[in-house]
Amino acid sequence: MANNLVILESPGKIGAVKSYLGSNYKVIASIGHVRDLPKSSLGIDTENGFEPHYINIRGKGDLIKELKKEAKNADKIFFATDPDREGEAISWHLAMILGDDAKKAKRISFNEITKSAVKEAIKHPRNIDINLVNSQQARRILDRIVGYQISPFLWKTIKSGLSAGRVQSVATKIIVEREEEIKKFVPSEYWTITANLKTAKNKSLVAHFYGKKGKKTKIADKKQLDKILLEIKETEFKVADVKKSSKHRTPQPPFITSTLQQEASKKYNFQSQKTMKLAQELYEGINLGAENGGAQGLITYMRTDSLRISAEAQAAAKSFIVDKFGNEYYPSTPRIYKSKSNAQDAHEAIRPSKVALEPAKIKKYLTADQFKLYKLIWERFIASQMASAIIDTVVVDIDNNSYTFRTTGNTIRFSGYMAIYGDFENGDNADIESGIFEKNKIPALLPDEKLVQKSLESAQHFTEPPLRYDEASLIKFLEEMGIGRPSTYTPIITVILSRGYVTREGKFLKPTALGEVTTQVMNEHFPDIVDYKFTANMENNLDTIENGDITMQDVLGSFYKDFTVSLTKANEHLGKKGVEIPVEEADIVCELCGSKMIIKNGRFGKFAACPNYPTCKNTKTLTENGKQPEVKKEEVADFKCELCGSDMVVRQGKFGDFYACSNYPKCKFTKAKDTKVDLNCPFCGSEIVTKFTKSKKQFYSCSAFPKCKFSTWDIPTEEKCPNCSSMMIKKKNKSYSYCANEKCGYKTEE
């Protein structure tokens, strides 16, 4: 019997893939990359063709030994890493590590983790695509050069510990420029008039001021408003024109990475990192029980910018639509969506792996959030293959003394795709399916018909500044500008937040003073690095390497020639003038000396400090948004004081919440309080809580302790390891994070 070895990228896929291949296949995971550039040096020979110097990732020694041992014993080896540039590069690095044993290896890839897809991939192995590898290498080398050669300049110019990035600096600039737009914005006044009318048959309708003699006019001030109101107050309203039309509204295409992140943000307020985590889980596989075929991937690969759909998926969608809704709900020809010109067409759009797995049928096997995202993907895909909706529209112009008022109504004549994906002005699916959905139903009207004025309402408004970017709108802008690719959107946002260049205010992203100053310095000394077109052109160059039309060395050489000129000029500038980070004021007045307090960052996060330090040492705790925490209503514990029998209450201390006797100060008994942190243990999935040692030192622990041994002095985060998808933990007082999985050993750069 043949001994075959399949090496995956993520351990989360092992169970599903192993069940599809049988006993003569050994399935293991590389847990992401096994080699990378060294952290202690540039690791690039810029004088000799930009040759990278790769080293084995620290902490992966045992894993590499296991991979080599299994490879030596195997008759055939299949590299089954993810179907993108990064996955191709991981396969190439694995081949370099395995040495002569790699001669037995072939590359396979699958867009979905289903039995048919995996078995089909095994039947059609191929060689590693070196152009795809070189495209990834070029990106890694570019990012290393920018990060390692600009960051020291920022340390000397602004402050130590800063980092620059080829794309993160551009993303920060986008957010800074929007903030500048908001600050410069001057609101302008305008007024609206609403007429509440009724017909001769006592039917009500509402019309809004449109303009004069059918021409759109803006009411700029109160004087103009009063003139119009005076002229129409005692005058008759009369129907001038009734226009009826029908519009065919076509469905939206299936999701790609960016549109999935945007829609999940809009509908469920998911951050992009959460969306991608859930999508990864759906892709890698969920155990649906024996009746549904066990463990299987529910969606296709989630990092894609292609709108292509396979013929098999299209046929499955047609069969479902016709059976469920009828022939009229399927278009006369199958729908084909055109991807953008710069899209990588390596794999399909994001769609369900099996149309037959309707969300409601498998809901019990999914978490609440997994279900939401799967339902969104499933419904969007089915809708994308359905017939257009037909919308009847009525536009009525109403005259009064040469002024025009207008009202518009819409009614769905044929729901089409809206029967499953109700996006008509946020219409509810149930209303659409029942065929009763209408927006502003207008009574039957005829030209010259007179209308009775019930009331006139006027309101003053002011134009609003542009909104700050949230994650969804930033990703949309990055995509439109050609900056970044599906696999990089979420890491870009994660980095600029973790580096302190940007902060969250609710769902919106706001630049910090540090972000504004850093952008100013980058604009002055490295304008190309933060230029939108330059960054987009570099992305296109990486695509060109992938296509084999240009070499990695050509792209890197052209970039480095101009970059070194800018770097030399910037370093010559050092010492001429430093850049100070503006002090950020808090909306808090120091009660001790009356000064306005300033916001500072400490080891436990943001806090407000008196600017007169050390004369006045007053400080206050702040939230991440720079606000004072809300005063909590005193919480009474469900147990009594062990010393005096009084109620125990929750109090706030330097090290977090704790239980204290309500009879304080007569009784000083206290007890540590475990606090949930809305994160799950990376080992067993139970909740993580904060705990304290006897010396009041805080640490994090699994709530299932001692059954589960997970604990750490550092800070657990929502971020997932790019190698193995385990939890990333932020090192206290340091600028790096590391993977909770010790076998993985992944660590971000300091």
Catalytic annotation, residues: 301
Tokens 């112009």, located at residue: 397
- Phi, then psi, of 549 in degrees rounded to 5: -90, -10
Alpha carbon of 603 to those of 246, 484, 540, 651, 739: distances in Å?
Answer: 62, 33, 41, 21, 21
Q: What angle do CA 721, 724, 729 make, to 5 degrees?
A: 35
Cα pseudo-dihedral 36, 40, 41, 42, rounded to 10: 50
Amino acid symbol at 269: N
Tokens 């098999």, located at residue: 312
301 three-state secondary structure:
coil
Are the beta carbons of 373 and 382 closer than 8 angstroms? no
Q: What is the CA radius of gyration of the chain?
A: 31
Alpha carbon of 42 to those of 73, 89, 163: distances in Å?
Answer: 37, 19, 14
- Nearest in space to 526 (alpha carbons), one of 477, 467, 571, 588: 571
Are the beta carbons of 10 and 31 closer than 8 angstroms? yes
Q: How far apart are CA 669 and CA 651, in angstroms?
A: 12
Are the beta carbons of 135 and 544 closer than 8 angstroms? no
Q: How far apart are CA 180 and CA 560, in angstroms?
A: 31
Q: How far apart are CA 529 and CA 153, in angstroms?
A: 14
Alpha carbon of 635 to those of 203, 343, 657: distances in Å?
Answer: 56, 55, 11
Give Cβ neighbours of residue 290 (< 8 Å, ≥ 6 apart). none
Please provide the distance, in angstroms rounded to a whole number, between the alpha carbons at the two ends of the chain: 48
Strands, E assignment, 65-201 = 76-80, 105-107, 189-198
Cα pseudo-dihedral 351, 361, 432, 335, rounded to 10: 30
The DSSP output letter for 74 is: -
- Nearest in space to 393 (alpha carbons), one of 282, 528, 517, 244: 244
Tokens of 604: 């436990």
- Residue-wise over 329-365: b if at least 16 C-beta within 10 A, else e? bbbeeebeeebeeebbebbbbbbbbbbebbbeebeee
246 CA to centre of own chain: 37
Determine the number of helices (DSSP H) and then strands (DSSP E) in the chain: 18, 35
Are the beta carbons of 600 and 594 closer than 8 angstroms? no
List 238's β-bridge partners, or say none.
Answer: 399, 450
- Nearest in space to 384 (alpha carbons), one of 349, 357, 346: 349
Q: What angle do CA 273, 279, 283 make, to 5 degrees?
A: 145
Tokens of 564: 């070194």
Decide the pairing of beta strands 647-653 and 670-672: unpaired
